[in-house]
Amino acid sequence: MPISDHQLISAWKQVLTLSKLEHGQTVTILTGASTHPQTLACALVATQDMGAIVNRLDLPPANGEKAHSRDSLAYLGTTPLTGNTAAIAMLKASDLVLDLMTLLFSAEQHDILASGTKILLAVEPPEVLARLVPTEADRARVLAGAAKIAAAREMHIVSASGTDLRCPMGEFPVISEYGFVDEPGRWDHWPSGFALTFPNEGGAHGTIVIDKGDILLPQKRYCSDRIVLTIERGYATRIEGGIDAELLSDYMAGFNDPEAFAISHIGWGLQPRARWSTLGLYDREATIGMDARAFEGNFLFSLGPNNEAGGSRTTTCHIDIPLRKCTVSLDGRDVVREGKVL
Ligand SMILES: [Fe+2]
């Protein structure tokens, strides 16, 4: 169901307050061809009401002809900021950028963040934003999970359906996504709620079984049968199963890039207000599937790049796969047991 402007303005104000927006600071709202009009209108009201100096920067889309779908997270290549020094200067001069366009991870985004500008991505539909509006408790929960990852040297994931994956860790930083930007130079995504890192380069090994009912993103569909991934030296070297395995293999082959098969981020969902079942209620073009990524207790792993965390792998292909009913342990101690966060 839709929500009122009043509800969405209140949600924006909650996010902006948690993000420590102060009177007189400069906010630039980044928009594009798929920006939701209500999200934009309410962001304009909320930021001005809090006394900010507010700009809007609208950029034309990039890479539409190369992406295989309209999903804004499906193709990680150049962005509308690539080579756009005027736009970069405007964003660097802002205290806060509200990204209603989907800038995605890029050298330009790192450059803007390094200047101290905060960036908050918000592209889910208004009612999803309002339901999953972040809280201080979300931050505390995610930071607690992140601290456990930072202290560990191996993540081991098992499930009754046959997953048995070992990921040595320590080469890459831990990333916390809790839905607001409370520090200079911070990037976050409203809504979210997970802690993640990346396996040491070439280190992940074992088997991942994507079971019936598990979700593939950006396909945004529930698997109807099992897909078995063999993981060797950090890469998925075999993708086996029935029609779902064939669909995944065909999609990935379209990028013609062996780096697409690398194990990317690993972590688990920590958002109790996000639900596994929500994706089934939405048209696939209406959502990017953040409920699926963030629902509490899923083991979220990805195939694709690690440059987000400072690694050298850049590939335009990026698959996020949340698995249910896994047990995740760090150095032998369970943190998620059969899909329940401990
Ligand atoms: Fe991802």
- Tell me the pairing of strands 118-121 and 96-99: parallel
Asked whether residue 333 carries a pLDDT value surpassing 90, the answer given is yes
Q: Measured in angstroms, how far is the CA atom of residue 75 from the centroid of ligand 1?
A: 11
pLDDT for the residue numbered 199: 98
Q: Alpha helices, DSSP H only, in 22-96?
A: 37-49, 85-92
Q: Tokens for 265?
A: 């981020």
For 309-327, what is each residue's pLDDT tens digit? 888 899 999 999 999 999 9
DSSP β-bridge partners for residue 57: 30
289 CA → ligand 1 middle, Å = 11
Q: What is the mean pLDDT of the chain?
A: 96
- Alpha-carbon distance of 339 to 12, in angstroms, equals 31
pLDDT of 282-305, one tens digit each?
Answer: 999 999 999 999 999 999 999 999
Q: How far is the CA of 196 from the centre of ligand 1 (A)?
A: 10
* Matching residue, tokens 């890469």: 235
Which residues does 117 contact at the CB level (< 8 Å), separation at least 6? Answer: 91, 92, 94, 95, 96, 97, 184, 185
CA of 72 to the centre of ligand 1 (A): 12
How remote is the CA of residue 217 from the centroid of ligand 1, in Å?
9
Residue 42 has pLDDT above 90, yes or no: yes
Q: How far is the CA of 320 from the centre of ligand 1 (A)?
A: 5
Whether the full predicted model's pTM is greater than 0.85, yes or no, is yes
Asked if 197 and 175 touch (Cβ cutoff 8 Å), the reply is yes
User: Quick check: 212 and 196 in contact, CB under 8 A?
Assistant: no
Ligand 1 midpoint to CA 318 (Å): 6
- Ligand 1 centroid, distance to 240 Cα (angstroms): 22
Q: What is the mean pLDDT of residues 252-270?
A: 97
Kindly give the distance from the C-alpha atom of residue 11 to the centroid of ligand 1, in angstroms, as a whole number: 25
Report the alpha-carbon distance of residue 279 to residue 201 in Å, rounded: 32
What is the distance in A from the centroid of ligand 1 to the CA of 23? 34
For ligand 1, the distance from its centroid to the CA atom of residue 322, given in whole angstroms, is 10
DSSP 3-state assignment of 141?
helix
Calculate how far, in angstroms, residue 101's C-alpha sits from the geometric centre of ligand 1. Answer: 17
Ligand 1: centre distance to CA 187 (Å):
14
